[in-house]
Amino acid sequence: MKRYNHILILIAAVAGVQVLTAVLGKQFYLTQLTMTAYYCIAIVGLTLLMGFAGQISLGHAGFFAIGGYTSAVLTTLDLSQFKDSSIVSLLAKLFIVTSRQDLYGGQVLSFNPWAAFIIAIGLTLVIAYIIGIPVLKLKGHYLAMATLGFGTIIYSIVLGTQRFGAADGISSVPAFTLLPGLAVSGNTEFRVRNYYLAWTLVIGVMVLLINLINSRVGRALRAIHGAEDAAGAMGVDTARFKLNTFILSAALASMAGVFLTHYNGGIGPSEASIMKSVRYVAIVSVGGMGSLWGTLIMSTTLTFLSLRGYFGTFDDAVFGAILIVIMLFSPQGILQFDVKALLKKLLRKKE
Amino acid sequence: MFLELFFQYLVAGLTYGTIYAIVGIGFNIVYNTTGIINFAQGEFVMLGGMIAVSLHSLLPLPIAIAAAVVLTMAIGALIEMTFIRWLVKPAVLRMIIITIGISILVREAALHLWGESVRSLPYFTGNEISAFSFGGVRVSPQVLWTLGICSVIVISLNLFFKYTMLGREMRACASNRDAAALCGIPTRNMVTLSFALAAGIGALAGAVVSPITQTSYSIGTGLAIKGFTVAILGGLGNSMAAVAAGFILGILESFSIWVMPTAYKDAIAITILLAMLFVRPSGLFGNKEAFRLKDF
Amino acid sequence: MALLEVNNLSKRFGGLQAVKDVSFSVERGMIKAVIGPNGAGKTTLFNLLSGFAEPDTGEVRFRDAWIHGRGPHQIAASGISRTFQHIRLFSHMTALENVTVGRHVRSRAGFVAGMLSLPWTHREEREIREKSLNAMEFLGIAHLAHDEATSLSYGQQRAVELSRALAAEPEMLLLDEPAAGLNMRETADLANLIVRIRDRGITVLIVEHDMSLVMKISDEVVVLSYGEKIADEKPLAVQKDPQVISVYLGEDEC
């Protein structure tokens, strides 16, 4: 089908890049490309919220962090001393809590990554629901500040709580074995496998979202974006559609957080920072608010360059500058940039 | 002993409260003339403090502060002229993103210029340990300087808006921009002026309070959130109410240390902000009916 | 029983009593008009009926169900479609896409079905498209289906808005000043169109400032003045009502 043409190109590109790195002997690029994939999932989810439902979120890193931290805490928690308590032994029987070896060879009794993943997503859904109901009633500056406030609260909780490792974050998070032989981990032995796993997830998310925006729901969202009152008059439950989109994009951010945390073997408070949220918004803006593919392309490029350290000490400044330049000259995104129109405008001014 | 501690916290709360109030007023000034929230408002406070500290190594204190204020005003005006002035009826979302971008650029520039170190001006009179004693409550002279100068700022702003031609023109611009333009008021210049004014009072407050709170490149975002909280608490656009709201927030924060860890202190402002936005976005002193008519 | 029944509806904005104690009913299959001078409370009444404002007191009953105080989307789902005085089309969407939104209440694909692109959603989409095109054909604008809606001419935009409302296959259609901005010929065409819509079995309630349109086609006319109902009669009787004449022509000339 026509709508999946781009997906085929993406699949070819993913495979092509892997082959290329193998031929050139630059497999180490795959590490950053894998991380990039997970950030892309969060950013594409935000595109759905900003570009299609028309709602800004300046606290999306908060959801990423909720996923990552929940999973990190649960999988590194040592329950050995409660081994004999009835709850823990019940959880152990259900394989929700399992025993594993830590780095130093000791036995640790902690949550199974699958269980932690499900709990993390569940927690995100609940928080997004509770936050979303009041927040999405707001508009414009108020919505921006409220989501910024949410992000700041998550950041200060993460930074101020010993259990979350405060400024150091949480490390030695175990691998997440999805299937036998397929684990999310930073072990270089599994680098290629993890690269394909991450990008398969991106492709899956893209397929789901492309389906969604081409469905009745996508049409309703664009209608809300175009004229909210008229959408309501045509029977679109605007509050519920906005809320569902918010929850969906929060869940995607959280999922990205869980996977990246397992891949990196840890998570730090900077993942929850406002600057991260702003960065996501910047990338969505550059990609063109209403374009999933535009966002995916820009997100891959910018995140990869940033992770490879090409922006040096100007990392944050680059994203700040991108925000301004895009919003000043081409609010429809860089791929829609109309050079002719700009030239015309400049020439007319001089006359 | 309990009473002394109580007043000690109260004074600390008032000091922080005045700074929040000044940032809140800065938001209001820009909001009134342009209808936009300038997310970079907190950076002006940071710039004021940092520039004054740097200049103080060459110049005497009062001149260093005055120069810092003038420079920050120029930066504020320059920001408006470069990024805001030529946009025709921009969407709210676009303006939000642009001012956030500006705030990041200012902060990053400050980081590269001054590094991560924490700085402060010397105490204007006396030093860290000198203090006036009011019935057992010790108050640092710098607190009096801060309260005094901030009061002067608020009073002179009021006089400026009420009694000078320029101030009245700015108010005309705030209440109806098109009508003001028809009356021959250069509305664009008024917008530039409002940015300069907001930058100026932010910078002055930033310089005056730096001996107590210290300053570094990264304080802007936190101040912006608190200033916005104050502006919302008082009702957006209402500067006198922002002063009251500033004191309320400052005092609440200061006393929060009694009941919760300091690490969560910042969460108070945000909780108040969220609660206000959800329950009464027109502010404590705002008019609900009039608020509904505003277009966001 | 009447299709729509309005009982003692009131709404106050601050010091202004916009609608005061208004009652009337609309029988199935009729064209009913609400008229009145500017500021008589017509648009407020309309917003109360379509859920855009909540009445302070009073009740609205549509097909045996109380609908006052419900949200716009719930009222739309119960079978009432509306147009707007100032055309409200969805920007960045084609005319056809605009009209398909009208089918929202007649279709059900949600987030999960949409993401998984389940086979039945494709059947549903085909039906949405067909019915939407039918509605556009009815108004003679099917050839504009793929043009961007907001780039069309004023009259065409009105037609798109009306097709969108009709695509929902409503039991009742609320038209908010449909003749605003139309010339005499266009107004006459509109009158014909409204009669054709009624002939399809759709009950029509029109709010109109202009008397000439409604007198020709309405079965009954409600007259509002300063938020109060001053007449509710057949068009001919309304035209002779001295109170209505004084409201429209001014007290002095009476």
Please report the domains of chain C, with CATH numbers, ordered by start residue.
1-79+170-254 (3.40.50.300), 88-169 (3.40.50.300)
Question: How many contacts (CB atoms, under 8 Å) link A and C?
Answer: 108
Percent of chain A residues topping a pLDDT of 70: 95
- What integer pLDDT is reported at residue B289 of this predicted model? 46
Report the domain count for chain A.
1
Name, in order, each residue with C-beta under 8 angstroms of B31's C-beta and a sequence gap of 6 or more: B37, B38, B231, B236, B237
Mean pLDDT, range A211-220, rounded to an integer = 94
Give residue ranges of B with CB < 8 Å to any A CB. Answer: 36-37, 83, 87, 91-94, 96-98, 100-105, 107-109, 112, 221, 225, 228, 232, 261, 263-264, 266-267, 270-271, 273-274, 277-278, 281, 296
Which of C1, C202, C173 is closest to C84 using CA atoms? C173
In this predicted model, what pLDDT tens digit does every residue of A313-336 receive, in sequence order? 888 999 999 888 888 887 777 766
Name, in order, each residue with C-beta under 8 angstroms of A94's C-beta and a sequence gap of 6 or more: none
In chain B, residues with a C-beta closer than 8 Å to the C-beta of A320 are 100-105, 108
In chain B, residues with a C-beta closer than 8 Å to the C-beta of A282 are 97, 101
Count of Cβ atoms closer than 10 Å to residue A169 Cβ: 23
Residue A78 distance to chain C (closest CA, Å): 37
**Type of residue numbered A63:** F
In chain B, residues with a C-beta closer than 8 Å to the C-beta of A145 are 37, 225, 228, 232, 273, 277
Evaluate whether B285 touches B232 at the Cβ level (below 8 Å). Answer: no
Give first-to-last CA distance, chain B, whole Å: 50
Evaluate whether A234 touches C104 at the Cβ level (below 8 Å). Answer: yes
Give the chain C residue whose CA is nearest to the CA of A235. C73
Per-residue three-class SS string for chain A = CHHHHHHHHHHHHHHHHHHHHHHHCCCCHHHHHHHHHHHHHHHHHHHHHHHHCCCCCCCHHHHHHHHHHHHHHHHHCCCHHHCCCHHHHHHHHCCCEEEEECCCCCEEEEECHHHHHHHHHHHHHHHHHHHHHHHCCCCHHHHHHHHHHHHHHHHHHHHHCHHHCHHHCECCCCCEEEECCEEECCCHHHHHHHHHHHHHHHHHHHHHHHHHHCCHHHHHHHHHHHCHHHHHHCCCCHHHHHHHHHHHHHHHHHHHHHHHHHHHCCECHHHHCHHHHHHHHHHHHHCCCCCHHHHHHHHHHHHHHHHCCCCHHHHHHHHHHHHHHHHHHCCCCHHHCCHHHHHHHHHHHHC
pLDDT at C87 over 70: yes
Q: Is A151 exposed, middle or buried (0-12, 13-18, 19+ CB in 10 A)?
A: buried
Query: Are B274 and A150 inside 8 Å of each other by CB?
Result: yes
Q: How is residue A144 written in tokens?
A: 């921006």
| Sign (positive or negative) of CA dihedral B144, B145, B151, B152 | positive
Residue B180 distance to chain A (closest CA, Å): 25
In this predicted model, what pLDDT tens digit does every residue of B28-62 receive, in sequence order? 999 888 888 899 999 999 999 999 999 999 999 99
Average pLDDT score, chain C: 90
In this predicted model, what pLDDT tens digit does every residue of C200-237 receive, in sequence order? 999 999 998 777 788 889 999 999 988 899 889 898 88
Q: Is A5 exposed, middle or buried (0-12, 13-18, 19+ CB in 10 A)?
A: exposed
Domain hosting A53: range is 2-350
Give the pLDDT band (50/70/90) at residue B95. Answer: confident
Count of all residues that appear for chain C in the document: 254
- What integer pLDDT is reported at residue A278 of this predicted model? 92
Q: Is B62 exposed, middle or buried (0-12, 13-18, 19+ CB in 10 A)?
A: exposed
- What integer pLDDT is reported at residue A137 of this predicted model? 87
The DSSP code for C142 is G
Evaluate whether A286 touches A50 at the Cβ level (below 8 Å). Answer: no
Mean pLDDT, range A64-69, rounded to an integer = 97
**Type of residue numbered C1:** M
Query: Are C128 and A216 inside 8 Å of each other by CB?
Result: yes
Chain centroid to CA B175: 22
**Type of residue numbered B19:** I
Give the pLDDT band (50/70/90) at residue A249. Answer: very high
Q: Could you tell me the strand order of the sheet in which C80-82 lies? A: C80-82, C172-176, C203-208, C31-35, C220-225, C228-233
For residue B296, give the nearest of A140, A153, A331 by CB distance: A140
d(CA B265, CA B249): 11
In chain C, residues with a C-beta closer than 8 Å to the C-beta of A230 are 84, 88-90
Domain hosting B275: range is 2-293
Which of A298, A300, A301 is closest to A283 using CA atoms? A298
At which residue do the structure tokens 């470069």 appear?
B82
- What integer pLDDT is reported at residue B286 of this predicted model? 62
- What integer pLDDT is reported at residue A74 of this predicted model? 94
- Global confidence as pTM: 0.90
In chain A, residues with a C-beta closer than 8 Å to the C-beta of B261 are 160
Residue A252 distance to chain C (closest CA, Å): 13
Query: Are B100 and A278 inside 8 Å of each other by CB?
Result: yes
Mean pLDDT, range B106-118, rounded to an integer = 92
In this predicted model, what pLDDT tens digit does every residue of B212-264 receive, in sequence order? 888 999 898 888 889 999 998 888 877 788 899 999 999 999 888 888 777 77
Evaluate whether C86 touches A230 at the Cβ level (below 8 Å). Answer: no
Chain centroid to CA B213: 15
Give first-to-last CA distance, chain A, whole Å: 50
Residue A232 distance to chain C (closest CA, Å): 5
For residue C114, give the nearest of A212, A238, A290 by CB distance: A212
Percent of chain C residues topping a pLDDT of 90: 66
Q: How is residue B24 written in tokens?
A: 């809140």
Q: Which backbone phi and psi does C204 adopt, to 5 degrees?
A: -120, 135
In chain B, residues with a C-beta closer than 8 Å to the C-beta of A277 are none
The CATH number of the domain holding residue B157 is 1.10.3470
Give the chain B residue whose CA is nearest to the CA of A160. B263
Which of B112, B106, B45, B111 is closest to B79 using CA atoms? B106
pLDDT at C95 over 60: yes
pLDDT at B183 over 90: no
Evaluate whether A194 touches A265 at the Cβ level (below 8 Å). Answer: no
| Sign (positive or negative) of CA dihedral C180, C182, C184, C186 | negative
Mean pLDDT, range A171-188, rounded to an integer = 88
Chain centroid to CA A183: 20
Q: How is residue A332 written in tokens?
A: 């429809």
The DSSP code for C57 is E
Residue A235 distance to chain C (closest CA, Å): 4
- What separation in angstroms does the CA of A186 have from each of A172, A176, A349? 11, 10, 55
- What integer pLDDT is reported at residue B290 of this predicted model? 46
Of A255 and B92, the one with more pLDDT:
A255
- What integer pLDDT is reported at residue A346 of this predicted model? 67
Evaluate whether A88 touches A109 at the Cβ level (below 8 Å). Answer: yes
Which of B187, B250, B263, B291 is closest to B10 using CA atoms? B250
Q: Is B160 exposed, middle or buried (0-12, 13-18, 19+ CB in 10 A)?
A: middle
In chain B, residues with a C-beta closer than 8 Å to the C-beta of A51 are none
Give residue ranges of A with CB < 8 Å to any C CB. Answer: 208-209, 211-212, 214-220, 222-223, 225-227, 229-238, 244, 248, 290
Evaluate whether C133 touches C142 at the Cβ level (below 8 Å). Answer: yes
Average pLDDT score, chain A: 89
Of A351 and C96, the one with more pLDDT:
C96
The DSSP bridge partners found for residue C232 are C222
The DSSP bridge partners found for residue C225 are C228
Evaluate whether A135 touches A56 at the Cβ level (below 8 Å). Answer: no
Q: Of the segments B209-213, B275-279, C190-194, which one has the largest average pLDDT value?
A: C190-194
- For chain C, the 3-state helix, strand and coil shares in percent, each to the nearest 5, are 45, 25, 30
CB-hemisphere CA count at 13 Å for A102?
A: 14
Work out the angle between the directed axes of helices B92-114 and A315-329 (0-180°, nearest 10). Answer: 150
Query: Are A149 and B274 inside 8 Å of each other by CB?
Result: yes
Evaluate whether B36 touches B95 at the Cβ level (below 8 Å). Answer: yes
pLDDT at C156 over 70: yes
Give the pairing of strands C31-35 and C203-208.
parallel
Report the domain count for chain B.
1
- What integer pLDDT is reported at residue B97 of this predicted model? 86
For residue B104, give the nearest of A137, A285, A320 by CB distance: A320
Task: Indicate which of A133, A138, A145 best probes the interface with B, i.e. most B CBs within 10 Å of its own CB.
Answer: A145
- What integer pLDDT is reported at residue C149 of this predicted model? 92
- What integer pLDDT is reported at residue A16 of this predicted model? 94
- What integer pLDDT is reported at residue A337 of this predicted model? 62
Count of all residues that appear for chain A in the document: 351
In chain C, residues with a C-beta closer than 8 Å to the C-beta of A49 are none
Q: Which chains sit next to C, with 3 or more Cβ pairs under 8 A?
A: A
pLDDT at B83 over 70: yes
- For chain B, the 3-state helix, strand and coil shares in percent, each to the nearest 5, are 75, 5, 25
In this predicted model, what pLDDT tens digit does every residue of A275-291 receive, in sequence order? 999 999 999 988 877 78
d(CA A17, CA A272): 30
- Concatenating the DSSP letter of every residue in B84-108 gives ITT-SS--HHHHHHHHHHHHHHHHH
Among left, alpha and beta (phi > 0; psi -120 to 50; other), residue A57 is beta
Which of B85, B106, B140 is closest to B223 using CA atoms? B106
Give the chain A residue whose CA is nearest to the CA of C103. A234
In chain A, residues with a C-beta closer than 8 Å to the C-beta of C164 are 234
Which of B70, B41, B42, B65 is closest to B54 using CA atoms? B65
Residue B270 distance to chain A (closest CA, Å): 5
In chain A, residues with a C-beta closer than 8 Å to the C-beta of B98 are 323-324, 327-328
Residue B33 distance to chain A (closest CA, Å): 16
In this predicted model, what pLDDT tens digit does every residue of C11-61 receive, in sequence order? 998 788 889 999 999 999 999 999 888 778 888 999 999 999 999 999 999
- What integer pLDDT is reported at residue A43 of this predicted model? 96
- Concatenating the DSSP letter of every residue in B191-258 gives HHHHHHHHHHHHHHHHHHHHHHH-B-TTHHHHHHHHHHHHHHHH-TT-HHHHHHHHHHHHHHHHHHTT
Mean pLDDT, range C154-172, rounded to an integer = 93
Q: What is the ipTM of this complex?
A: 0.90
Average pLDDT score, chain B: 86
